[in-house]
């Protein structure tokens, strides 16, 4: 998560990691955003996180293959 910007880290933590998760309304209030903007921002943040994980996975796979040769 450290490769994400601060807002994305807060959003993902509040909505996907906290138990129970915060509501969009709660997150919007804390972030100073409209509740309707939380979903699209969350999707963009999760997409960024997915790209980071994919890049790390690819890097580890490549490093592993180089170690076999």
- The string of pLDDT tens digits covering residues 9-51 is 999 999 999 999 999 999 999 999 999 999 999 999 999 999 9
CA–CA gap between residue 15 and residue 22 (Å, rounded):
5
Model pTM above 0.85: no
Q: How confident is the model at residue 8 (pLDDT cuts 50, 70, 90)?
A: very high
Compute φ and ψ for 66, nearest 5 degrees: -65, -30
CA–CA gap between residue 20 and residue 47 (Å, rounded):
22
Q: What is the pLDDT of residue 65?
A: 65
CA–CA gap between residue 1 and residue 50 (Å, rounded):
10
């Amino acid at each position: 998560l450290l490769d994400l910007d601060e807002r994305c880290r807060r959003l993902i933590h509040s909505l996907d990691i906290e138990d129970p998760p915060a509501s969009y309304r709660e997150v919007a209030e804390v972030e100073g955003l409209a509740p309707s903007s939380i979903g699209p921002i969350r999707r963009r943040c999760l997409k960024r996180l997915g790209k980071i994980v994919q890049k790390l996975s690819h890097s580890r796979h490549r490093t592993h293959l180089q170690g076999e040769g």
